[in-house]
Amino acid sequence: MQPFTRIQGIAAPLLRDNIDTDTIIRVERLFNAVPRADLGLYCMESLRHLPDGSPDPEFFQNDARYHGASILLCGRNFGCGSAREGAVWALAGMGIRCVIAPTVADLFAANCFQNGILAFTLEQTVIESLAAAVSTDPVNRQLVVDLQRFQVGPAGGKPTSFSIPPRRREALLEGFDEIDLTLKHRARIENYGSRDRKLRPWIYATDS
CA distance 67 to 82: 28
User: Which one has a higher pLDDT value, 140 or 129?
Assistant: 129
The predicted-structure confidence for 52-66, as pLDDT tens digits, reads as follows 989 999 899 999 999
CA distance 81 to 105: 8
Q: Is residue 61 part of a domain?
A: yes
Question: Residue 41 is part of which domain span?
Answer: 6-203
| Span of 18-22, 82-86, 116-120, 133-137 with lowest mean pLDDT | 133-137
What are the strands of the beta sheet with 151-154, ordered from one edge? 118-121, 98-101, 71-74, 6-14, 142-146, 151-154, 160-161
Q: Is residue 1 part of a domain?
A: no
Instruction: State the pLDDT confidence band at 140, using cuts at 50, 70 and 90.
Output: low
Q: How many structural domains does the chain have?
A: 1
Q: Is residue 147 part of a domain?
A: yes
Q: Is residue 208 part of a domain?
A: no
DSSP class of 52? T
Domain of 183, CATH number, reads 3.20.19.10
21 pLDDT higher than 70: yes
Residue 31 one-letter amino acid:
F
Mean pLDDT of the 150-169 span: 91
DSSP class of 106? H
pLDDT value at residue 70: 96
Q: Is residue 126 part of a domain?
A: yes
CA distance 197 to 191: 10
The predicted-structure confidence for 66-119, as pLDDT tens digits, reads as follows 999 999 999 999 999 998 999 999 999 999 999 999 999 999 999 999 999 999
pLDDT value at residue 136: 83
Q: Is residue 133 part of a domain?
A: yes
Q: Is residue 88 part of a domain?
A: yes
Neighbouring-strand partners of residue 120: 100
208 pLDDT higher than 60: no
User: Which one has a higher pLDDT value, 194 or 152?
Assistant: 152
